[in-house]
Amino acid sequence: MKKRRVCLTTEVHRPAFDDFADAMRVAESKEGWRSSEVLRNFLDAAFLAVRGALIVGEAKDKNEADYMAIVASCRHPSETMGALSRMMGATAMALAVEPVDFVGPVFSELSADAGMGQFFTPHHLSYFMAKLIVGDDPMRLVGEKGFVSLAEPACGVGGMILATNVVLREAGLDVARQAHWTAIDVDSRAHRACYLQLAMTDCSADVYRGNALGPPENLVGDRTPAACFFPKKVPPGQIPKDQPPPPPPPAPEGPAQLTMF
């Protein structure tokens, strides 16, 4: 990746981004990949690595085979996979410092497809929209269920979800235990970036790839670690083992539903 000044969501992400960008340049140099190819392989490998810890049986075997296919595609697997691992570490570091969109600005610079309507909403606008929709007392939405259900039918890389989680945390909610997201995007790269960012920020979510306007059977879902560790639809302490998740749940209904756009 050529050295460029990507406009990040927050400048506290800059040190992590510099490490991320350096690792991208290593992968470009070793493999002759374009920046967009490095980003795609990073998202695939990181997604499979996180998801692989949560699944069992044939799904786990398939997940491992997909990961090893990425390794096999590299001319210099040791150096390249090491670079992709550095990118994952940089992403985790950025999100630990401040859990707002890190991948979005990079994705927008390198891989966004205007023809698909991929335009990423700046964090401050997402935060303002979330404040308007959630209101001043989101705790009231928790209700008898003990958590609030939220839906994002065109989630992109998860920027709106992360901004909303900031609002929920400011109100005292635990986004792992007291909130659950249904996130959908038609782009597999965006789906994987969203899953990665939500997983790394302790967000409970089912993240689906497919068309939110299509039939439910077109959706393929993956559950974040927080959703497994703190399940919302089974008794506490019982971690679902049928990963990836069963057919997508229906859209949240009732007063506890919030749909973010």
User: Looking at residue 164, which CATH number applies to its domain?
Assistant: 3.40.50
Do 125 and 64 reside in the same domain of the chain?
A: no
| pLDDT surpassing 70 at residue 169 | yes
Query: Is residue 191 situated within a structural domain?
Result: yes
Between 135 and 156, the more confident residue is: 156
Query: Is residue 209 situated within a structural domain?
Result: yes
Q: How many CA within 13 A on the CB side of residue 66?
A: 17
Minimum mean pLDDT range among 35-39, 140-144, 185-189: 140-144
Yes or no: say if 165 and 194 are a contact pair by the CB < 8 Å rule.
Answer: no
Give the confidence band of 240 by pLDDT, cuts at 50, 70, 90.
Answer: very low
| pLDDT surpassing 80 at residue 116 | no
Amino acid 113: pLDDT? 45
Instruction: Please list the alpha-helical segments (H only) found in 77-142.
Output: 77-97, 103-110, 123-134
Do 188 and 218 reside in the same domain of the chain?
A: yes
Phi, psi of 183 (to 5 degrees): -115, 135
Residues 6 or more apart whose CB falls under 8 angstroms from that of 81 comprise: 45, 70, 71, 74
Our count of domains for the chain comes to: 2
Whole-model pTM?
Answer: 0.86
| pLDDT surpassing 70 at residue 258 | no
Query: Is residue 235 situated within a structural domain?
Result: yes
Amino acid 238: pLDDT? 42
Do 245 and 123 reside in the same domain of the chain?
A: yes
Do 76 and 120 reside in the same domain of the chain?
A: no
Calculated CA dihedral for residues 219, 50, 100, 104, nearest 10 degrees: -60
| pLDDT surpassing 50 at residue 9 | yes
Between 149 and 244, the more confident residue is: 149
Query: Is residue 108 situated within a structural domain?
Result: no
Do 238 and 184 reside in the same domain of the chain?
A: yes
Residue range(s) defining the domain that contains residue 178: 116-259
Query: Is residue 103 situated within a structural domain?
Result: no
Amino acid 217: pLDDT? 83
